């Protein structure tokens, strides 16, 4: 997301399991953000908020940039600062990582940026009718200003890229949809199969004898006695009944 105009630098739940990671400032007229689905939200490794025009999140060796370039009416200094920062942060991405840069990147400098970092502008790759190429409408003006770029070597991950041909967010802008083949990170063994559990069902074999051998603590306060008793029972049960193995 870009041109959000949100003033905060934080994350918030927006419903249905989605999480919005936002980057703005109190007086911003810009603002960027990245919305992460439920499948990936717990796999975010890091979030870097550079300024209210550029941010990045990393999800399992995949670096996602959200960028909002200064418009044509902005000063050359503002444009240079933006592109220099984007160049710098893109160059810092480890070569083994997948790089995805998406945003409102109007201007010819996107070509220089793509060339210097071996990136492919994916929504210029697929053959589409005009309604699935144009992302900005203003009167009689129709143009592409929103782009998604990935490393040349990773372009096979992208199966499609196109703006929606109808209004869903703002009257002049069409959301750009880019489909990538990215699998959610694998869960750890414990997460996938559950934690080890005590084999409580085995207590039926010799319940009375087992219970009689549990050493209960001296009674003090209610909370302390309860905690010590449950810990003692659990520890004895683990040693006598055994535990399950995940998998």
pLDDT of residue 190: 46
Please say which residue of 159, 180, 201 terminates a domain: 180
Alpha carbons 50 and 218: distance in angstroms, whole number = 58
Alpha carbons 62 and 182: distance in angstroms, whole number = 9
Number of domain units in the chain: 2
Instruction: Kindly state the average pLDDT of the residues 234-247.
Output: 74
pLDDT digits (tens, 9 = 90+) for 9-42: 888 888 888 999 999 877 777 889 999 998 888 8
Please say which residue of 133, 154, 180 terminates a domain: 180
Alpha carbons 245 and 223: distance in angstroms, whole number = 31
Q: What is the mean pLDDT of the chain?
A: 84
pLDDT of residue 246: 58
pLDDT of residue 102: 95
Show the domain range for 231: 189-241
Which residue would you say has higher pLDDT here, 208 or 94?
94
Q: Is 131 found in the same domain as 230? A: no
- Global pTM reads 0.71
């Amino acid at each position: 997301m870009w041109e959000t105009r949100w003033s905060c630098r934080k994350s918030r739940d927006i419903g249905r399991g989605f999480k919005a990671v936002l980057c703005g400032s109190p007086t911003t007229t810009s603002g960027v953000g990245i919305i992460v689905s439920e499948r990936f939200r717990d796999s975010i490794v890091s979030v870097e908020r550079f300024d209210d025009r550029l941010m990045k999140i990393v999800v399992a060796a995949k670096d996602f940039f959200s960028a909002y370039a200064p418009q044509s009416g902005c000063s050359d200094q503002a444009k240079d600062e933006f592109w220099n920062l984007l160049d710098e942060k893109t160059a810092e991405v480890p070569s083994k990582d997948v790089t995805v840069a998406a945003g409102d990147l109007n201007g010819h400098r996107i070509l220089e940026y793509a060339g210097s970092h071996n990136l492919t502008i994916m929504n210029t790759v697929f053959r589409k009718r005009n309604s699935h190429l144009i992302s900005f409408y203003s009167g009689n003006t129709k143009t592409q200003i929103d782009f998604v770029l990935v490393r040349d070597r990773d372009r096979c991950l992208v199966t499609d890229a196109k703006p929606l041909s109808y209004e869903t967010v703002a009257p002049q802008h069409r959301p750009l949809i880019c489909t990538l083949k990215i699998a959610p990170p694998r869960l750890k063994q414990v997460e996938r199969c559950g934690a080890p559990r005590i084999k409580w069902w085995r207590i039926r074999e010799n319940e009375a004898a087992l219970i009689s051998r549990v050493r209960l603590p001296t009674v003090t306060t209610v909370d302390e006695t309860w905690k010590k008793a449950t810990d003692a029972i659990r520890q004895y049960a683990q040693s006598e009944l055994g535990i399950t193995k995940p998998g």
